[in-house]
Chains A and B, each alone.
Chain A
Amino acid sequence: MAVHVQDGTLRQSGLGSVSRGPAVIEARDIWFSYDNRQPVLRGVNLEVYPGEMTMILGRSGSGKTTLLRVLKGLLRPQRGAVLEHVNGGSHRHGAAIAYVPQTLGLVRSLSALDNALTGSLSRVGARSLVRSFPGSVVEDAKELISRLGLAPKIHEPVHRLSGGERQRIAIARALMQQPALILADEFVSQLDPITAENILQMMRGIAAERNVSLLVTTHETDIVDTYADRVIVMREGVIIHDSPSADIAAGQMLALLR
């Protein structure tokens, strides 16, 4: 059964205090199976709070990716419900939650800037059909890209960028969506540890500043301590642990993953 943290407060994180308001997204008793045989998710309950950086740990096959895809609405659970509590306002349906798949899903022949700009498409309307964007949106994208350290490669097509550079463009695109929540699947798994930490740090910084929640899946325990406010461990489609990351020791995490 899912263990759930019910306390109303969150620990002080390294980036200042994060207050726990109403949840951004709520998953209630999610059951999902791909072929009506073995369920991949078995009664998952989860709330994500504003500004929170949550990491979901689990071995492959534990249901992490499926959970993210259900939260994004790409998969419809057979039982249970996902509730979005985001002020829709300027967002077209679905834009409030950004999803970064493991393969990043960047458009390879488009430039870094154009890829980032696709994140803003739900806001810019008809002029985007002739590849034109409002100046303020372009400035925002350029600023994001240069903050992520890619200013010199802004017009480079994405297929010429390195893995770490692509990862950063994927973050820029997600942030351009002005989301309340970013779901990132195995986000830094393909990168060397130094690049991975670099990117996590940048992503955390910008997300905290914009009050964006992050939900990141990973199978690496060593990055969790430093970057996560909260740790969730999944096994065989069930959440077996959910706590502030300070409350769980590395050894304990490894034991849970086994």
Chain B
Amino acid sequence: MNRRSLITRAAFAALALLTLFSMRRIGLLELDRIRPAGENLGDFVSSLFPPDLDVLGTLIEAMIETVEIAFVGTILGVLLSLPLALLATRTLFEPVISLPARMLISAFRTVPSLLWGVIWVIAYGLGPEAGALGVACYSVGFLGKLYYESFEAVDSEVMEAVRGAGTNRMQLIIYAVLPESTNSLVSHLLFMFEYNIRASTIMGFVGAGGIGFYMLGYIQLLRYESLMTALLLTFVVVTAVDLLSGRIRALLVPSVQQQSNRSPLRASITALNP
């Protein structure tokens, strides 16, 4: 056996041991708890049926609010992240400016969306306003990063050619950076909206509006048939939004790829796993 495969085997063994060790520590290896867990899950699933359609009207209204939270949050997020992302673009600004802007963007990203919801509930009071602001803050963290990466991916020869005409920084942004990255900007916006729809469904858990408020209530009142209706409705809306925005993004992709070798999806995934 050569050295390389020995190292590979040792690495696998170490990984397996680490996994078992962690599972034991968090209690996943306690066999006497596994069987009841299965039974409980079975009970829960059977109590979900049949879905309670009486609550559908209320839930549709709440779902509309959820979509509104995601929509307003995404748009506010875009408006806030665009200037911040421009400041964070190293091909436009010196490190004195771009570095603090990057740090601010990554600080926004560090706080989970639900926690942003809590922060705005504390600041603004209960309701969808807090949800939208929470979603907006969270979006700043992600869109900021996706956007400055798009801006930096603008072909350096385009930047040189436009800058070489004696343009100032604002002109360079308006006539080269933004038009060259329009497709990725829209693509990232749609991606963020898909993500925010999902994030907004649970904003209600912390009192920040939308369908999550009802989901939590049904769980606490053990009204699982009503919960099922909420879950089904969420599933339908999330799938519809994903399909729709996926369609729009697919239309944009070819020209985005023309602009840079990085696919927007890959860029999005990179940004979501910083």
Contact = CB atoms under 8 A, between A and B. Distances in A.
Given A103-B155, A104-B161, A93 B167 contact: no
A108 B161 CA distance: 13
B159 to A, nearest CB: 8
Contact of B167 (A72, A103, A118, A131): A118
Interface stretch (B122-130, B145-153, B168-176, B210-218): B168-176
A177 B165 contact: yes
B177 to A, nearest CB: 9
A95 B4 CA distance: 58
Contact of A99 (B160, B174, B183, B259): B160
Main secondary structure of the interface of A (DSSP, over half): loop
B166 A177 contact: yes
Interface residues of B, number: 24
A103 B175 CA distance: 18
A72 B160 CA distance: 10
Given A107-B176, A129-B170, A72 B162 contact: no
B196 to A, nearest CB: 26
Interface in A134-177: 159, 170, 173, 176-177
Contact of B259 (A100, A102, A108): A108
B157 interface: yes
Given A99-B160, A103-B155, A108-B259, A119 B179 contact: no
B175 A118 contact: yes
A129 B171 contact: yes
Contact of A105 (B162, B166, B182, B255): B162
Contacts of A122: 165-167
Given A93-B166, A104-B161, A118-B162, A109 B155 contact: no
A105 B161 contact: yes
Contacts of B179: 107-110
B158 interface: yes
Contact of A106 (B158, B166, B168): B158
Given A129-B171, A159-B258, A119 B165 contact: yes
A74 interface: yes
B174 to A, nearest CB: 6
Contacts of B194: none
Interface string A176-211: 110000000000000000000000000000000000
Contacts of B158: 105-107
Contact of A101 (B160, B174, B175, B183): B160
A121 interface: yes
Contacts, number: 85
Contacts of B171: 121, 128-129
Contacts of A95: 165-166
Contacts of B168: 92
A219 interface: no
B164 interface: yes
B175 A110 contact: yes
A107 B243 CA distance: 31
Contacts of A107: 158, 162, 175-176, 179-180
A234 interface: no
B172 to A, nearest CB: 9
Interface centre among B161, B174, B258 (most CB of A within 10 A): B161
A92 B166 CA distance: 6
Nearest to A120: B165
B166 A173 contact: no
A98 interface: yes
B165 A108 contact: no
Nearest to A131: B174
Nearest to B171: A121
B162 A98 contact: no
A22 interface: no
A100 B161 contact: yes
Interface in B37-91: none
B160 A74 contact: yes
Contacts of B161: 99-101, 104-106, 170, 173
Contact of B258 (A94, A100, A108, A173): A108
Ranked nearest first, the 6 interchain pairs of A and B with the lowest CB-CB distance are A105-B161, A95-B166, A122-B166, A92-B166, A105-B157, A101-B157
Interface of B: 155, 157-162, 164-168, 170-171, 174-176, 179-180, 182-183, 255, 258-259
Interface of A: 72, 74, 91-95, 97-110, 114, 118-122, 128-129, 131, 159, 170, 173, 176-177
18 contacts: A92-B166, A95-B165, A99-B164, A100-B161, A108-B255, A109-B183, A118-B165, A118-B167, A119-B165, A120-B165, A121-B162, A121-B165, A122-B165, A122-B167, A128-B174, A129-B170, A173-B161, A176-B165
Given A101-B157, A105-B155, A122-B166, 18 more contacts: A94-B164, A95-B165, A97-B164, A99-B160, A99-B161, A101-B161, A102-B157, A103-B157, A105-B157, A105-B158, A105-B161, A107-B180, A108-B179, A108-B259, A109-B255, A121-B171, A121-B175, A128-B174
